[in-house]
Structures are given as structure tokens and as C-alpha cells.
Amino acid sequence: MLPATFKLCAGISYRHMRNMTGLRKNAMVAIHHELNRLAGPGSSNWISQVRRRSSFLSARIEEEQGYNEQEMSYVKQGEDALQKAISILSEQDGWTIETVAANGDKVLSKMLPDIGKVFKLEVMLEQHPDNLYNELVGNMEQMGEWNPNVKQVKILQKIGKETMVTHEVSAETPGNVVGPRDFVSVRCAKRRGSTCFLAGMSTKHPNMPEQRGVVRAENGPTCIVMKPCAEDPNKTKFTWLLNIDLKGWIPKTIINKVLSQTQVDFANHLRQRMANNVSMEMAHAC
């Protein structure tokens, strides 16, 4: 009973503990150290389980103690975006097919209360999830080099290993039907087992106010999920949840077409980028 109770309390209360400051955080860390003392040789099984749970909470609190209020706000925004996106993706009902490419790439959409229309790209990529994660997260600022729909991605600030604030500038669509847009986003990059996540949503940053001549659009929650294929772990089931408010006076029919095509194009450009990376590695190996 005690292990189950602590597990429940730990899961519920962490979101409250993360907002603690000063003495209260120190108290939580002290509790962890006291549990270490209690869980000595011959300690009971429930003490050991409590100790493991406490170690998790203590590590997260100690990691976040160095963050200021603004940094903690970005961390929370990123994690909220991830949780909202996962919740949306976990609901399988109500999706409508927007487009299906000849290679099987598929874009679906769904209307959600308080969020609006969301789009979901589903594709299979012949790459290991780690390779895709390294490209999309580790080489994020290079996206403009291989994705013609993106002019620039710049990391404005990093908070820890999993959170960053970025500024992205999109290119105009063919015929300038939709002009350039820019976004300031908080992004949350996580690995959970063999699955990789890159979630985000719009935010504000003091170093990037709205730019003259460029429409500041909004996004979120958005999320890319990269999961190994069950039949072949070197292939990736790639899902991209997209929710964007482009702002301006643009008919919804045009927005729907632009966003779904943007997702299909992204998958093709990413495939080409990864293929080029493999070619370069093989050339260097020769």
C-alpha cells in the first residue's frame, strides 16, 4: 500500500514541487538525503521504492534550482505543449483525410475546441529515429539549408538539455499566395525509451520582438514523434502534429491546402536530406 501511495503522490505533486523556491526546495532535497540514510543495509522493499521515487524528484528539483523565473516558464510551456500534443495524437477518432501522396504519405486533419484545426502527417521513413532526432534537434539551425519552405531557424536561448526558444522565418509560398511569416517558439525535445519527441508552441522572447514587414504567426501545440517501426527498428514511424495560425486575411481553403502541402513537402525534403547525409558519410569513409 505504501509504495503505491507514494508513487501516486509523487506523480501528482511533482508539478507543484517544480514551482517551489528557496527553503521548500531545500526541504525536498533534504528528505531525499534522509531517505538515503534510512534505506541502508536490510531496508524494507517499500523504503527502497520510496528512495527511487525520491531520487527522481530530487534530481529534477536540483536540476531546476539554477533556473530563473523566465527559464522555468519556458520549461513549463514546452512540457505543456508536449502533453497537449500527446493527448491530441492519442485520440484516434474524428480525423479526416486531407491528402494521400503516391508514396503513401498521408495528411489528416481534425477540428478541436479552443485550438482550431490541427493537421497530422503520417509517414514511414527509412531511417533510425536517432538519426532523425539528431538532424531535427542537433542540427536544427541548418534546416534552412535543405527545406526551401524555411528561410532560417535560430536558437535564441537554451534551458537545460530539453528546452530551447527559437526564431523561425518561413519562405513565401509559390506565387506569394502566403507571404513570409515568422515564429517565436519554445521547443521541448525528449527521448522516452526508443521514441523521440520534438514539441513546441508559440511564446515571446525579449530578444525577438515582432519584425517590421513580417507577419508574426502563432503555432501550437505542435509535435513530431519518431518511433521505431515494429517490423524494422531501422525504419521510423514519423508523425507530425501541426497547428498554426498564419494571421492575416487568408481564406481557410487556401490555408488548409498550404499547410497540408507543407507537411508533405517536409517529408520529401527530409528524406532527401537524410539520403545526402548517408552519401557524404560513405564518401568520407572511402
8 part of a folded domain? no
Return the percentage of the chain with pLDDT > 70, whole number: 74
CATH number, position 232: 3.30.530.20
Q: How many CA atoms lie within 13 A of 211 on its CB side?
A: 15
pLDDT of 237 strictly over 50:
yes
Looking at 39-180, list the stretches that DSSP marks H as alpha helix, in order from N- to C-terminal side. Answer: 45-64, 69-90, 129-133, 143-146
Return the pLDDT at 160. 95
> Picking from 9-18, 147-156, 245-254, which range would have the lowest pLDDT averaged per residue?
9-18
57 part of a folded domain? no
137 part of a folded domain? yes
Q: Could you give the CA distance from residue 33 to residue 26 in angstroms, rounded to a whole number?
A: 11
63 part of a folded domain? no
Tally of domains in the chain = 1
Q: Could you give the CA distance from residue 218 to residue 196 in angstroms, rounded to a whole number?
A: 24
Confirm if 243 and 118 have CB atoms less than 8 A apart.
Answer: yes
Q: Could you give the CA distance from residue 221 to residue 209 in angstroms, rounded to a whole number?
A: 21
23 part of a folded domain? no
20 part of a folded domain? no
The range of the structural domain enclosing residue 185 comes to 70-285
Q: Residue 73 corresponds to which amino acid?
A: S
Strands (DSSP E) along the chain, which ranges? 96-100, 106-112, 116-125, 150-159, 163-170, 181-192, 195-202, 215-216, 218-219, 222-228, 236-242, 244-245
pLDDT tens digits for range 198-222: 999 999 999 999 988 889 999 989 9
More confident residue, 214 or 156: 156
234 part of a folded domain? yes
154 part of a folded domain? yes
92-106, 168-182, 248-262 — which one is most confidently predicted on average? 92-106
Q: What is the mean pLDDT of the chain?
A: 83
Q: How confident is the model at residue 252 (pLDDT cuts 50, 70, 90)?
A: confident
Q: Could you give the CA distance from residue 1 to residue 32 in angstroms, rounded to a whole number?
A: 20
